[in-house]
Chains A and B, each alone.
Chain A
């Protein structure tokens, strides 16, 4: 960890609160004995419905920011567009916030496990994005 304890944070954005929280639980559950990775779920709308909330995403990103950057994994549609728009905005998310181009579940596990092994933001993003390479047939 190049002499410091800062860990990359991970935010999981889904249209569904249940999906975001379950994937967070799965990813953390599959992590070994490395440093604890801050993971936050930003699922659904503030009233618990299906959708995307810019406010939940921004507060989740601030919550997991330890100064080493934040990787955001998204499911589809408005989740992708909202994170892209927030990153373009410039001041809603921590400075080192990155949208990860990866399948949601596989990417989340790869991101959290690699972050727990001390990977920096670029390495966490790259590891998660490699998840597209694992073919299932």
Chain B
């Protein structure tokens, strides 16, 4: 499967699977966010991805890049929290870097997501170790070079690794030491994105 490219249909299925996992894990995301944030991450992400699915299914874009750009725009418009512009920027930037190609390889997807993560870091100013979504996204993107399953595993490990970190960005950073010992909600939902990708490729 690595030799064949992924088409727009695959990317739509990826977003639908991500929406499914977000739906399934919404309670846990909100619970994690109630420990160090404002207890809305699950509901925000649910609203955002539901809007993404609705748009993609009513007007399926023709290319993988267009799927991600459309999904990113929807997230920016509908999420209502910082994760909206952050995830929106991730997908939109990745989508733009995929260009007009009707099929993309894993390597192209990796390059696109790498550019997306770079934009997320510019937007939010987060560095690795700051206890943010970047801590799951970076290892996930790097492990795409091995396999999609490896990427899902690496992103999940990255999310777990945020537990002992002290938050340096966003509302959680105001808690100082008290942010230590909790898994970051954004890193957790970022890992779901990679889990969904591995799921649809199986």
Contact = CB atoms under 8 A, between A and B. Distances in A.
Query: Do the two shown chains form a genuine complex with each other?
Result: yes
Interface of A: 45, 49-55, 77-78, 81-82, 84-86, 88-89
A78 B73 contact: no
Chain A interface SS verdict (over half)? helix
A126 to B, nearest CB: 23
Chain B interface SS verdict (over half)? helix
A78 B77 contact: no
B112 interface: no
B80 A51 contact: yes
Interface residues of B, number: 21
5 contacts: A78-B81, A81-B85, A81-B124, A82-B85, A88-B89
A53 B80 contact: yes
Nearest to A49: B80
Given A78-B85, A82-B85, A54 B123 contact: no
A85 B88 contact: yes
Given A52-B80, A52-B82, A89-B92, 12 more contacts: A51-B80, A77-B170, A77-B171, A78-B84, A81-B82, A81-B124, A82-B84, A85-B89, A85-B123, A88-B89, A89-B73, A89-B76
